[in-house]
Structure 1
Amino acid sequence: MKIPLSWLREYIDIDWDVEKIASELTMSGNNVEDVYRAFDLEGKIVVGRVENVEKHPNSDRLLVCRVNTGDKGYTVVAGDPTMKVGDIVPLALEGAKLHTGLVVKPLKIKGVLSEAMMCSLEELGL
């Protein structure tokens, strides 16, 4: 059974890290098989608002989007044809590590620099 840490903390008032909680649960006779982290939220995955969407100049299937996080705007090359201005999206910034092990970094895609990565729920491990 998978139990979110947030749910567990609703019932147990503790400030331990997840490894300590897993250890204590195991020592109390409850089997903890694995600790699964959906993704790394250490400031590298944020919420952004799509401000502009244009067709990619060198691809029929890609879009070039401008996404604003409130602190900064990012140019992002995306493959989702349903993307539109006003969409609120999860945005993985440079250095973010996704659950697949992929580390996000700026990348030129067909000649356009993509500074971050808009993520689907699957890419976030949710």
Structure 2
Amino acid sequence: MSRPDTFFNFADLSKGISRTLAAGIETRVFPGQRAMFSVVSFEPHSEGSIHSHPEEQWGVLLEGSGIRIQDGVEVAVGSGDFWRTPGGITHGFRAGPDGARVLDIFAPPREAYTKAGTGFDA
């Protein structure tokens, strides 16, 4: 039996909107009407740029390790840790030696992420 287009699985990221955020950082984006999921895969030691946006963002480290940089503060995080980033706060992530996979949740959805592309802002 096939699954409706409103069901997904972390092990199968063939669905969703594909974006390359930076070298070694790929995501699949799943937009909804009022929230958006982004499943981000980081290669070992890859690092995203420090940036901000008006949307609130929650992050969950699904696997791996890294450093969450938020409002100038660096916090070591491991599998199972999660955090909240209010809109307008500068933030970024640096993956550990085994890479990382992060689930980002945005509310409302980020307009820039509603189409395939590259970068954090476009």
TM-score band w.r.t. shorter chain:
under 0.3
As a proportion of its length, which structure holds more helix? 1
- Specify which structure has the bigger relative contact order, considering alpha-carbon pairs within 8 angstroms and separated by 6 or more residues: 2
TM-score (norm 1): 0.25
Structure ID, larger Rg:
1
TM-score (norm 2): 0.25
As a proportion of its length, which structure holds more strand? 2
